[in-house]
Structures are given as structure tokens and as C-alpha cells.
Chain A
Amino acid sequence: MRHSQIIDHNALKFNQLSIVTLTTLGFILNAPVLPAFVSLVLIGGSLTPRLALFKLLYRHAILRLGLMRSHIVEEASAPHEFAQLLGGLVLGSGVAFLFLGSEVTGWALAWIVIFLALANLLFGFCAGCFIYFQLGRLGLPGFTPNASHPTPVSKQEGE
């Protein structure tokens, strides 16, 4: 995985909107194939940007049609990619339960992903990023982003 230091926040929002819409539609139509597709896109997209279909759709269609504007922020992409991978894995295990006939467990896992995507979309809380930073705090290798040291604002501690 190659992590960038510049991300488009609206691309992330479109990604979350796609997760919520398609997974909820899958629940309404009782079609596990839809969350299965979302799960594959999430896992694939976190491994290689070429498979991030929602982000590609955002870049090549939504932006070009002027439906959304990009909101570029200088920020490490690794926590968001980790969150996406985690979401894809939880949704994937939900889909596995659905195909094995355990409907309640399967849809419950799918709804956890929907709720967490909604929390990020509506309230800006990224649960996967939170887990990523907690793992970084525990000192797990690969979990601390290479953030540059913040520059002083106006008064520093100890001044």
C-alpha cells in the first residue's frame, strides 16, 4: 500500500454515501450480492487505488459533471485506507454469514458498517481511523502515520 499525504474529503464522503446506499439497498431487496460487491470494492480499493471504484466514479463522473466539488486536505491517507479495509472485512464477513444462511448475523454486521459509514458521513467521526490511532498509540508497527511535527500556533506548553 502506498499512502499519500493529500486527500479529497469529498471523495471520502462519496465513498461513504455509496457504502450506505448500496448496502441499505441490498438489505431492502434482500440481495446479499450488493453488500458483497461493496465489500470487494472496499477491500480492493484499500489495497490498490485502481480498484477503488467509488473513488474512480467520483473522480471521472461526479467531479466532471460538477455534482460535487473537491475538498483537498493535507492529511495522511493511511488511517482512512485502514478504515476502508476494516469496513470491507466486516461487511465481507457479514456477506459470508448471509451466504451460509445466518441472515440475522449477516445483516447485523452489514448494519454496523452502515452505521459507521453514516457516522463518518454525517458527523465526521471515522471509527476505523480512531482504531488506527489507538493501535498506533499501543506502538504496533506500521500504525503511526508519518505526520510532520506540528508548528507552533501562538503559545506552546512550557513557554
Chain B
Amino acid sequence: MVSPPFDRMIASALLVVCFALLVKAIAFARRRALKNVTVAHLLPFKKEGATEPTLLYFWNTGCSQCPSQERQIEEARTRLSSSGRSLTVLKLNALEEELLARQLHVMTVPTTILLDADGKVAATNPGLTPWQRIVEEFHSMGEDVSQTRSRKINTVKCDA
């Protein structure tokens, strides 16, 4: 173990940076792994070929943050419906839906997972998530879809 303060300062900075990078890398790998996962067929209330975005909300009894999370989800739904958008919310007990929870890497409750219209994972939020983030993710998902569509249209125009 190094003893002069300057060496220790560098060691501390390196340790903190390495830790932050490690956590970021793990989060990135998990997001990447979930990117092409389609779970619509596993959902108890949803069939394949769904046409609207769905928010999966994993909860469990004894979860202290779940009542707060539900208020945040309700607020997000209210805000979205006031702007003419609708969000279906599926409330799932993380222990009873263990297979689905495992497939979606649910590590904690509450966890909210936004699925696009095809049932693909668009965003995952472990822990208490504010309504603002849910609304933001919903809108950015729409932007992604419209960007893909406009790209397709451009391609058609170029070909023509």
C-alpha cells in the first residue's frame, strides 16, 4: 500500500473511476442484452402483435417504494392521456412472474420496463422512477419509431 498523500490521491481517483466504469459497463451490457428481447408472448394479458406501448410494473408485497411508484405511474398516465397518448400498464408480482422477471433481469422492486408496440424492451428502470422519466422514455420511443419511418421513406425516395 502506497503511503505518500499524492500517490494515495491518484490511487483513490483510479479506484473511483474504475468502479464507475465497471458499473457503467455492466449497465451497458445489460441494456444491450435486453435490446432485442421480445416478451409479448410471455405476458399474461398481451398477445403477440400488440399495437400499443406497455409499461410492465414489477412489484411485490413488502416493497416500501411500490406505493410511491404507483403514484408516479398514475401521474405519467394522466400526463400522457392529457396529450392524447395512452399507456397500458401491467402490474406484475415479481415473485409470481419469476420466469418473466428473470428474463427481463429484474433485480429489485419496483422495476418499470417500457415495451414498444412490438413488445420489445425500450427502457428499463430499476428502483423508484419519477413520472417525468417514464413520460420522457415514452416520447423518445415515439421519436425512435418516427425516425425509423422517415429513414424508410427517404430510402424509398432515393430508390425512386
Contact = CB atoms under 8 A, between A and B. Distances in A.
Given A104-B1, A147-B64, A149-B61, A28 B9 contact: yes
With a 10 A CB-CB cut-off, give which of A29, A107, A136, A155 has the most chain B CB atoms.
A155
Interface stretch (A49-57, A86-94, A118-126): A118-126
A136 B62 contact: yes
Contacts of B92: 157
Interface in A36-59: none
A52 to B, nearest CB: 19
A149 to B, nearest CB: 7
Contacts of B108: 125, 130, 133
Interface in A20-44: 24, 27-30
B1 A103 contact: yes
B15 A111 contact: yes
Contact of B70 (A75, A79, A137, A150): A150
B64 A76 contact: yes
B69 to A, nearest CB: 8
Interface residues on A, range: 35 or more
Contacts of A61: none
A155 B20 CA distance: 38
A48 B23 CA distance: 33
A115 interface: yes
Interface string A63-83: 000000000011110110000
Given A74-B68, A111-B15, A155 B128 contact: no
Nearest to B45: A155
Interface in B35-67: 44-45, 57, 59, 61-67
30 contacts: A24-B16, A27-B12, A28-B9, A28-B12, A30-B3, A30-B5, A30-B8, A73-B65, A73-B68, A75-B65, A76-B64, A78-B64, A104-B1, A124-B128, A125-B127, A130-B108, A136-B62, A144-B62, A150-B63, A150-B66, A153-B57, A153-B74, A153-B91, A154-B77, A154-B88, A154-B89, A155-B45, A155-B89, A157-B92, A157-B93
**10 interchain residue pairs of minimum CB distance:** A76-B64, A154-B89, A28-B8, A145-B64, A153-B89, A150-B66, A147-B64, A144-B62, A153-B91, A124-B127
Interface of B: 1, 3, 5, 8-9, 12, 15-16, 19-20, 23, 27, 44-45, 57, 59, 61-68, 70, 73-74, 77, 88-93, 96-97, 108-109, 126-128
Interface of A: 24, 27-30, 73-76, 78-79, 103-104, 107, 111, 114-115, 118-119, 122-125, 130, 133, 136-137, 144-145, 147-157, 159
